[in-house]
Amino acid sequence: MEEIRKIGVLTSGGDAPGMNAAIRAVVRTGIYHGLEVFGIKRGYQGMIEGDIIPLATQDVSGIIQRGGTIIQTARCKEFHQYEGRKKAYDQLMKFDIDAVIVIGGDGSFTGASIMSKEFDIPFIGIPGTIDNDLYGTDYTIGYDTATNTVVEAVDKIRDTASSHGRIFFVEVMGREAGFLALRSGIACGAEGILVPEEKKQLDKLRKYMAERAAKKKSSIIIVAEGDEEGGAIGIAKRIKEEFPELSIRTTILGHIQRGGSPSALDRINASRMGSAAVEALLDDQKSIMIGLVNNEIVHVPLNKTVKMDKDVDRNLLRLAEVLI
Ligand code: ADP
């Protein structure tokens, strides 16, 4: 394998708090090892267009505490086609970039895996998504911050819920994954947690409403947006029809879950994974994702992480039921 001298870093797909900490770690670790580092702006779109800038140590100063991504992110349809990826490759060659570090989710890694094979160029993935739905890592960047954001918001909702004796259905992000709903639900002491990974949850919810809801000062039901029963609005409507005597409200937390200053855990995880990604490249690795398992850095083949599904923690689901 040829020696790696210049590397590119990009953020792609959904943004997540802590991405900046990862960019900073990539840049500074790269420079520490004598590499030149380039920021590829707006994900694969910027790669295709050659929107590529050099990043020096001072360019990543003062960003570790900022949410979002300083090099921006995008969704790029053209990258789905070979012609688009060929244009992207030509731009990498124009800038003499030998390898790319992609901070993103499942979709971004699928694109990286395909392009890596087609053009024999090393791609290293760093998991960045608030959904935590990537196989091969316990944590993705942004998941912990988003959990804290949900907890802070739901604590406030709890105050008004208990003052009025209401039941709140709170919808959190997670179209296909219930990690955020489950972890934040446990932390908020939610009376119900509905996640896409679990079936027949409505029966349990009905039982709770019939037997216990009226006796509680307030109830918080956390619903992942992708829940098979149809999100918080749909479920709240059905429960209201069946239990018209209950005072029910619905809140959709929406995009506040993606923003904000990253938690200390996200900053540290992002710093570790960013640095490990550069070191993996120097170690001749290609087409892998950096993960954290039992608090240790691991390397997972990119095609494995995109093919395999990660299940929610069944022990946490059971715990939620016990603690209600
Ligand atoms: P995430 O990485 O957060 O899952 P997306 O699924 O939107 O976000 O993917 C981000 C980008 O990755 C897409 O806009 C596209 O450019 C690229 N991508 C996703 N899937 C593929 C694919 N099957 N082939 C090539 N590129 C892909």
Residues 6+ apart with CB under 8 A from 202: 229, 235, 238
Can you list the domains of the chain with their CATH numbers?
6-142+262-307 (3.40.50.450), 145-258 (3.40.50.460)
Query: Which of ligand 1's atoms lies nearest the C-alpha of 12?
Result: 10
**Rounded CA separation 11/112 (Å):** 12
Query: Which of ligand 1's atoms lies nearest the C-alpha of 44?
Result: 16
Which residue's CA lies nearest to atom 6 of ligand 1? Answer: 107
For residue 80, give Cα distances in angstroms to 85, 111, 114.
Answer: 8, 7, 9
- Element housing 287 (H / E): none
**Rounded CA separation 114/82 (Å):** 9
Q: Which residue among 77, 80, 85, 129 has the greatest number of ligand 1 atoms within 8 angstroms of its CB, and so is best to mutate?
A: 80
Which residue's CA lies nearest to atom 14 of ligand 1? Answer: 75
Q: Residues 164, 192: contact at Cβ < 8 Å?
A: no
Residues 6+ apart with CB under 8 A from 35: 4, 5, 6, 7, 278
Nearest Cα residue to 128 out of 5, 252, 26, 279:
26
- pLDDT band for 324, please (50, 70, 90 cuts): confident
Torsion sign (Cα): 291, 293, 295, 300: negative
For residue 284, give Cα distances in angstroms to 61, 98, 114, 123, 124.
Answer: 29, 12, 18, 11, 11
Which residue's CA lies nearest to atom 20 of ligand 1? Answer: 107
Residue 25 Cα to ligand 1 middle (Å): 23
pLDDT of residue 92: 98
Residue 101 Cα to ligand 1 middle (Å): 15
Which residue's CA lies nearest to atom 8 of ligand 1? Answer: 13
Q: What's the distance, Cα to Cα, between the start and end of the chain in Å?
A: 56
Average pLDDT, the chain: 96
Q: Residues 202, 182: contact at Cβ < 8 Å?
A: no
Q: Which two tokens stand for residue 123?
A: 């791609």
Residue 220 Cα to ligand 1 middle (Å): 34
Residue whose pair of structure tokens reads 């609005």 in the numeric block? 233
Mean pLDDT in residue range 53-76: 98
Residue 108 Cα to ligand 1 middle (Å): 4
DSSP 306: H
Whether 227 shows a pLDDT value over 80: the answer reads no
Whether 204 shows a pLDDT value over 80: the answer reads yes
Q: Which two tokens stand for residue 164?
A: 């009025």
Q: Residues 85, 77: contact at Cβ < 8 Å?
A: no
Report DSSP letters for 14-45, one per residue. S--TTHHHHHHHHHHHHHHTT-EEEEETTHHH
For the chain, percent of residues with pLDDT exceeding 70:
100
Residue 102 Cα to ligand 1 middle (Å): 11
Hey, which residues are catalytic here?
A: 131
pLDDT of residue 199: 85
Whether 1 shows a pLDDT value over 60: the answer reads no
Q: Which residue among 45, 108, 134, 310 has the greatest number of ligand 1 atoms within 8 angstroms of its CB, and so is best to mutate?
A: 108
User: Mind listing the pLDDT tens digit for each residue in 120-168?
Assistant: 999 999 999 999 999 999 999 999 999 999 999 999 999 999 999 999 9
Higher per-residue confidence, 77 vs 215: 77
User: Mind listing the pLDDT tens digit for each residue in 234-266?
Assistant: 999 999 999 999 999 999 999 999 999 999 999
Pocket of ligand 1 (CB under 6 A): 12-14, 44, 75-76, 79-80, 104-108, 110-111, 114, 129
Residue 81 Cα to ligand 1 middle (Å): 11
